[in-house]
Chain A
């Protein structure tokens, strides 16, 4: 059974304080690893798709990396508007993504 575990569950940062979110996955034959941002009561907003170990993608203050067992979402010099829940999902042979429970990020000004 595919499993995705995210840590920490919650993270509080000061504005400008860089950090990383972790996503550990157990999937047979990884087809894709996805990162989404979700604001309260809204649908997830797509951020990145990674396909193979060693791949990296960047968007503004966010950078996603992938190894054979985990993915990291690095946030550089975060701003209060980066506050949200960040969801990780992995898809295997069925191509249906399994989601983690998310990391709730709060960035204080």
Chain B
């Protein structure tokens, strides 16, 4: 599986967009990019996933570069409740069922 690199921590002002980067330069053509988050000690929460096209849902947008070597998760209007650890995971979808979590990015949204 492709390895991902994320900054260990980031801050964001409440109401502003939070842009969380992820590098996955060794990604292969059949690997998806998944984003999860974990608020304090709660169970991880699925946010979004994509293969090569940009994706948007009610929580966030996922921008994947054309060469697929990096991606950005965008929380358009961050709130205090978005303070969490955000995980970028790259996995092949069809022959692996688990999510392998790394250290992630600790996002702190400040008032």
User: A and B: real partners?
Assistant: no
Residue numbers of A with Cβ under 8 A of B are: none
Residue numbers of B with Cβ under 8 A of A are: none
